[in-house]
Amino acid sequence: MEEEVIITEECVEENPEENQEETNAIQKTEDTEQEKNEPDEENELLQEINAKVDHLTQLFTKKIQHTAHEEKIVDQMHAELQKYKDDMYSQLVRPILLDMIEVRDSILRMSNVYAEKPEEEQSIPLRVFRDYSYDIQDILEKNNISIYFSEEGDEFNPIKQRALKKVKTPVEELHGKIAESMSSGYEYLGKPISPEKVSVYVYEKPSDVEGEKE
């Protein structure tokens, strides 16, 4: 028994090179397998990156298509709104234009009537001109436009009136009040669109007025 043990130990001691070769062979095998695995990991990582890029590209494409679709809808809505405005404007303005055409035709008819008369009778009476102003007033009132004017002594309202002239007065109570209505004012649904033209009193002391006269 002792001899067998000794022989075995000797055998082990006598083959260190063989053991080293086996170890080297195992290490080479592991290195080879690791080298084989590294390209696989790189390929997997590359595929994962490509997949993410493709996904982002798809999202970006969808976003562009969605944005283009939204812009198309906005443009379409804008065109429809503009068409609606044009139609509405036409509906609002058309009655006024027709009334103005009627007034013009009436003036031309009246001119033709007076043109056929003797020269001494061709002058148109003042009343006829006033009647035309009433015709136009009817047109304005039919379209929610009201006409207003002030009386002497009324308070001046800068929203509804525009002062074109100042009139000096020695009466202090009249200062800032309306002296004369020079033309009517016009408002649409209660909102002034053309202010009344007026002259306004401006107070000056009598002594100042007398001094100017001297």
Q: At which residue do the structure tokens 């006033």 appear?
A: 130
Average pLDDT value for the chain: 76
For residue 177, pLDDT beyond 90: yes
Which of 4-18, 20-34, 115-129, 181-195 has the highest mean predicted lDDT (pLDDT)? 181-195
> Between 150 and 120, whose confidence is greater?
150
The dihedral built from the CA positions of residue 121, 127, 133 and 139, taken in this order, carries a sign that is negative
Q: 0.85 exceeded by the pTM? A: no
Task: Output the pLDDT for position 29.
Answer: 60
Question: CB–CB of 198/162 below 8 Å?
Answer: yes
* pLDDT value for 35: 55
- Residues contacting residue 46 through CB under 8 Å, at least 6 positions apart: none
Q: What was the pLDDT predicted at 112?
A: 78
Tens digits of per-residue pLDDT, 25-49?
556 565 555 555 556 677 777 788 8
Are 121 and 114 in contact, with CB atoms under 8 Å apart?
yes
Taking residues 161-190, report their average pLDDT.
Answer: 91
Mind listing the pLDDT tens digit for each residue in 121-160?
Answer: 767 676 777 788 888 888 888 888 888 999 999 999 999 9
User: Cα(214)–Cα(203) distance, rounded to whole angstroms?
Assistant: 19
Whether pLDDT at 208 is above 60: no
Smallest Cα–Cα separation from 99: which of 31, 160, 145, 53?
Answer: 145
- Measure Cα distances from 59 to 51, 65, 78, 124 in Å: 12, 10, 28, 80
Q: Locate 32 and state its tokens.
A: 């080879």
Residue with tokens 């800068």: 158
Q: Does residue 114 have a pLDDT over 90?
A: no
* pLDDT in the model for residue 176: 92
Class (C level, CATH) for 147-213: mainly beta
What integer pLDDT is reported at residue 18 of this predicted model? 56
**Predicted pLDDT at 129:** 74
Query: pLDDT for 160-169, tens place per residue?
Result: 999 999 999 9
**DSSP codes joined into one string, 22-60:** HHHHHHHHHHHHHHHHHHHHHHHHHHHHHHHHHHHHHHH
Of residues 211 and 163, which shows the higher confidence score? 163
Give mean pLDDT, residues 74-89.
76
Look-up of token digits 């000096």? 168
